[in-house]
Amino acid sequence: MNRFISRLNPLKQIIAALIGGFILFAGIVFAWTVGYQLAFAGRIFPGVSVAGVDVSGLSPNDAALKLSQTLSFPITGKILFRAGDRVWVASPAELGMVFDPSASALAAYNYGRSGGLFKALARQVGAGGIGADVPPVLIFDQRVAYAYLQNIAAQVDQPVVEASLQVDGTNVVTQPGQVGRLLNLDATLVYLGAQLQSFRDGEVPLVIHEAKPKLLDVSSQADAARRILSQPLTVFVPNAGDSDPGPWTYDIPVIANMLKVNVVENNGESEMQVGLDLAALQRSLGELKVYVDRYPANARFVFNDDTGQIEPISASTVGRVMDVDASMKAINDALLRGEHNVPLAVVEQQPAVSDTAVGADLGVTQEIAAYTSYFYGSSSERIQNIVAASEQFHGVLVAPGETFSMGNSLGDVSLENGFAEALIIYGGRTIKGVGGGVCQVSTTLFRTVFYAGFPVVERYSHAYRVSYYEKTRSGDVDPNLAGLDATVYFPLVDFKFINDTPYWMLMETYVDVGARTLTWKLYSTPDGRSVTWETTGPTNVVPPPNPVFEENSELEPDQIKQVDYPAQGADVDVTRTVWRDGQVYFTDEFKTHYQPWAAVCQYGPGTEDPIKSAKREQLCVVPKT
């Protein structure tokens, strides 16, 4: 035990010595600090400066005076801003900086007197050894700096400008794009504050954000637009023959009016495209399409009764259809390449029957129906129209299952197509018009189809009974033929029937002008059908109204002329039964209502008694019933 105690005593002695030493050191430090502060009571410690100005040993008041006299940076300092080749220079005071010498002197005085015993001692020793520079106390009014920077922004900022391309008349006008710039005031203020705090001249970076336009340069597009407008545009039907329409030429001003500039997005990038406006081009090509499109036409044939074969009388025609969308693309693509003669995009359509067709293959093997109508008493103009209309159907083929439209095959009834002016029924009157007599042809076709037993899907009668359509070979009128007429005034009024057989049908028409006859023949393959029919004949007969007398300024006084003729009103019902192999195939009925029709006489101005004059000349006489 005594041995352990003896070993412990030296350790206690060491600890006691250390504690005593520390207390002695602390006492010395305390004595030094207190003594140092007492030695420099009211004065700034040695080695302390403010913004490089030595203020050691001075009282705060004296230091403040020295600093105010020495530090002129707020007034004489220079802060530089630069944007490209433009430079702005301002004093710190102009930027809202104010130097506070009193606060700065007080900060220097407090250096080494705060922060605890050891920190204060360390600062005192450090200042006395290597020196200590205390930052000046500044007041920075950011509102003043913000206003100054706003003035710079007004000169630096510029909006984003997209490049543009316009057509003025036939001139291409371009405007290049402009990169947008915007001065970031808040970010620039941060850099400015740091520079002012350094209390030295310097350049403060302007924080400018740039924004690129979607389109900066459109010179290539402008060149393309100028190429498009360099010469007229001509479009044409490819492989056109002498009878084909076109070509069509668009003059430069017309192209300029159609030129359009579009901005499109392509993989996230904007690009400008120039070309003809698709809507305008589509309208224009739509108008041309009427002339370009052509239905394919089958070859026309006649049946040789001696050989039993069909013989071509006109070649087939390949049809074509303009592809408007493909034509628009072809035109714009060509113009961008600098080409101004552009073929239209057309799709060919082959005819169903070419000139090399064989009758047996088509099922045209023999005559299956024929009908002859008579037109005694017709004028030369009416006869001309009967001939012109009949020619349109001679040699025409009707496909199996086809609904044949007489109007479609007849085409345009006009003077240019060989028709003449003759009497027609229009607007409740019999007047002179182009195509009078065409209904002789439609009536003949109706009766041929009627007797052949084909379904009729559209048929219209005349407004009143016309004697032409009830005449027989002898020239007499057969009332049993009433209700078997058909009128065509295409496209409002048409005659249609169906070839409801699996065979083609060939039509032939023959006009014998001398005999005043029109014969319609049908050739195909017989399918065992026959026709019976019944008619009520004219019923509910109504006498014609009294004659109508009208003044006509083109006639001479006492001259009288009959321009319309009386007809009895009546109703006629015709029932047809079509038989096939001894069985009823179908039955249909044709109901016709004829209006009573008044005679019309016209007389010249000044005629004293037109009725008496008409009687004297046997005009506008109502027939006895």
- Evaluated on CA atoms 376, 377, 380, 382, the torsion sign reads negative
Q: Give the pLDDT of residue 422.
A: 47
Q: Give the pLDDT of residue 266.
A: 73
Q: What is the C-alpha to C-alpha distance for residues 365 and 363, in angstroms, rounded to an integer?
A: 6
Percent of the chain with pLDDT over 70: 89
Q: Give the pLDDT of residue 68.
A: 86
* Cβ-contact 78, 91 below 8 angstroms: yes
**Residue 351: cis peptide before it, omega within 30 degrees of 0:** no
CA atoms within 13 A on the CB side of 345: 12
Tell me, rounded to whole angstroms, the distance of Cα 124 from its chain centroid: 86
Q: Mean pLDDT across the stretch 70-97?
A: 91
Is residue 138 very low, low, confident or very high in pLDDT (cuts 50, 70, 90)? Answer: confident
Q: Give the pLDDT of residue 438.
A: 86
Q: Mean pLDDT across the stretch 104-126?
A: 86
In tens, the pLDDT along 9-61 reads: 666 666 666 676 666 655 565 655 566 677 788 899 998 998 888 989 899 99
In tens, the pLDDT along 423-479 reads: 555 455 554 544 467 889 999 999 999 999 999 999 999 888 888 788 889 888 898
Collect all residues with Cβ–Cβ distance below 8 Å to 95 and sequence separation of at least 6: 79, 144, 145, 148, 192, 196
In tens, the pLDDT along 232-271 reads: 999 999 988 888 898 999 999 999 888 887 776 777 677 7
Collect all residues with Cβ–Cβ distance below 8 Å to 13 and sequence separation of at least 6: none
34: buried, middle or exposed (CB in 10 Å: 19+, 13-18, 0-12)? exposed
Give the CATH architecture of domain 529-625: Single Sheet (2.20)
Q: Give the pLDDT of residue 411.
A: 77
Q: Mean pLDDT across the stretch 364-370?
A: 97
Q: Give the pLDDT of residue 327.
A: 95
Q: Mean pLDDT across the stretch 348-360?
A: 94
Largest CA distance in the chain: 185
Three-class SS string for 393-440? Answer: CCCCEECCCCEEEHHHHHCCCCHHHCCCEEEEEECCEEEEEECCCHHH
Is residue 530 very low, low, confident or very high in pLDDT (cuts 50, 70, 90)? Answer: very high
Q: Which residues of 63-79 are buried (b: 16+ CB within 10 A; e: fewer)?
A: bbebbeeebebbeebeb
Q: Mean pLDDT across the stretch 119-128?
A: 84
Q: Mean pLDDT across the stretch 312-339?
A: 93
For the whole prediction, is pTM greater than 0.85? no
Q: What is the C-alpha to C-alpha distance for residues 133 and 555, in angstroms, rounded to an integer?
A: 128
Task: Give the strand pairing for 319-322 and 539-542.
Answer: unpaired
